[in-house]
Amino acid sequence: MSHDPGERLPGVIELRPATPGDVSALMELWEVAAENDARPADSAAKIETLIARDPEACTVAVTAEGRVVGSLISGWDGWRAHLYRLAVHPDVRRQGLARRLLTHAEARLVALGASRIDAMVLEGNDLGQSLWKDSGYEPQEDWRRWIRPVGTA
């Protein structure tokens, strides 16, 4: 029998695409649960733009009571596949929810045509790194991301 990464979760936590109605809950989740250093600031408008551009890209984990307790963005541009904003609320950590979000996103990206998936992980985020390592990801030591801020925000 295949292993369901969510099987240890108490109660029912549903994974579904985020809708515009989830935007404020996502902002609140990321304030308390996400890796927030060294990146452009989040905004409700940016999440709305993401949902409008690809309604399946942002997955939320929602309790039976309707509380958003997890998230993962899986971006597919037709060429490369990237994961962003993997976050699980501290109240429900270490119960397999991140693994479940990851399995869900990987299946979506593979179905879209991805042959490799990447995630940006901060040096020093030992918690995040333990999850990625345990899930089969490894740092690509011979590459470094080059960036230039553009626009106004």
Residues that bind ligand COA in the complex, under the rule CB under 6 A: 33-35, 86-88, 93-99, 119, 121, 125, 127-128, 130-131, 134
Q: What is d(CA 73, CA 56) in angstroms, rounded to the nearest whole number? A: 9
What is the spatial distance between Cα 126 and Cα 147, in angstroms, rounded to a whole number?
24
Instruction: Kindly state the smallest distance separating residue 135's Cβ from ligand COA, in Å.
Output: 7
In the complex with ligand COA, which residue's Cβ is closer, 94 or 151?
A: 94
CB of 136 to ligand COA, least distance (A): 11
Nearer to ligand COA, 20 or 36 (CB): 36
Are the beta carbons of 97 and 13 closer than 8 angstroms?
yes
Taking the complex as a whole, the smallest distance from the CB of residue 116 to ligand COA amounts, in Å, to: 17
Which of 1, 150 has the CB closer to ligand COA?
1
Nearest approach in angstroms of CB 152 to ligand COA is 26
- Residue closer to ligand COA by CB (options 124, 149) is 124
Min dist. Cβ of residue 69 to ligand COA (A): 9
- Beta strands 81-88; 117-119: pairing state: parallel
Burial tier of 129 (Cβ tally within 10 Å: 0-12, 13-18, 19+): middle
**What whole-number distance in Å separates Cα of residue 88 and Cα of residue 138?**
21
Comparison of 28 and 134: residue with beta carbon closer to ligand COA? 134
Enclosing H/E stretch for 46: helix 44-53
